[in-house]
Amino acid sequence: MFDSNIPYESRGGMTGRIKSSVSTSPSIAIIFLCVISFFLELVPGIGPLYISAFQFDPHYLMARPWTLVTYIFLHIGLLHLFFNMLVLYFFGTALERRVGNKQLLGIFFTAGVLSAIGYAFLSQPIFNIYPNKSVVGASGAVYGVFAALTVLEPNIQVYVYFVPMRLKHALLLFAVFDFLMVNSSDMIAHTAHLSGLFVGLYMGFRMKKIHEKYMRSRYDGRW
């Protein structure tokens, strides 16, 4: 889904190849699926089985590979769901306007899958954390979208707890927070967040490089 050969259109401009609308927005579709999934989690008798079948457990990575994707659509608690979907709504729709629907989906799911793998394989050797807990939530995938958008449009102004700041400063703030809290016992998979963030940075820089090369070729072709 991630096509590194397609340049993005800076500052929200749209070309015949790069465009998105609310009616076809993958970010809105993901939000809808996450909300439906959350209600399924609340069904008595079915909810616990549903969560158990689709949550990501590092111990069963090889036996249950589908959970690398399905865990993204599960959330524990309304606030967990609300904040992830709120960030995805604003940053996801902004990113898809710049890079297109397929690129957005590629970034979201690549970051989501690799954030789970990062949690499973990087926690202990790097941070001395044994990943013995199951993981649910779209946070790692959302971090990937957040980071990719920051690379492409670092100076967008956002509000973090009502404080205005540039997008690049907001990303740095969240990255530092996750790094400092990585050994805490707050039940948050900070290593998954950081993994998704670095995936988003890589994909964002890759797309930016392709875009710059594309723009140079257009400029050179005029002479």
CATH code assigned at 77 = 1.20.1540.10
Specify if 2 maps to a domain: no
Over residues 16-47, the pLDDT tens digits come to: 344 445 458 999 999 999 999 999 999 999 99
Question: What confidence category does residue 71 fall into, taking pLDDT thresholds of 50, 70 and 90?
Answer: very high
Average pLDDT, the chain: 85
Tell me which residue range forms the domain holding 29: 12-217
Specify if 55 maps to a domain: yes
Write out the two tokens for 210. Answer: 């392709």
pLDDT for residue 8 is more than 70: no
Specify if 132 maps to a domain: yes
Average pLDDT over residues 131-147: 90
Integer-rounded Cα radius of gyration of the chain: 18
Specify if 6 maps to a domain: no
Specify if 144 maps to a domain: yes
How many Å apart are CA 122 and CA 217, to the nearest integer? 40
Specify if 63 maps to a domain: yes
pLDDT for residue 119 is more than 50: yes
The H or E element that residue 124 is part of is helix 101-127
Asked if 196 contacts 144 with a C-beta cutoff of 8 angstroms, the reply is: yes
Average pLDDT over residues 138-143: 96
pLDDT for residue 10 is more than 50: no
What is this structure's pTM?
Answer: 0.84
Specify if 1 maps to a domain: no
Q: Which of 6-10, 28-32, 116-120 has the highest mean pLDDT?
A: 28-32
Domain count, the chain: 1
Specify if 197 maps to a domain: yes
What DSSP character marks residue 163? E
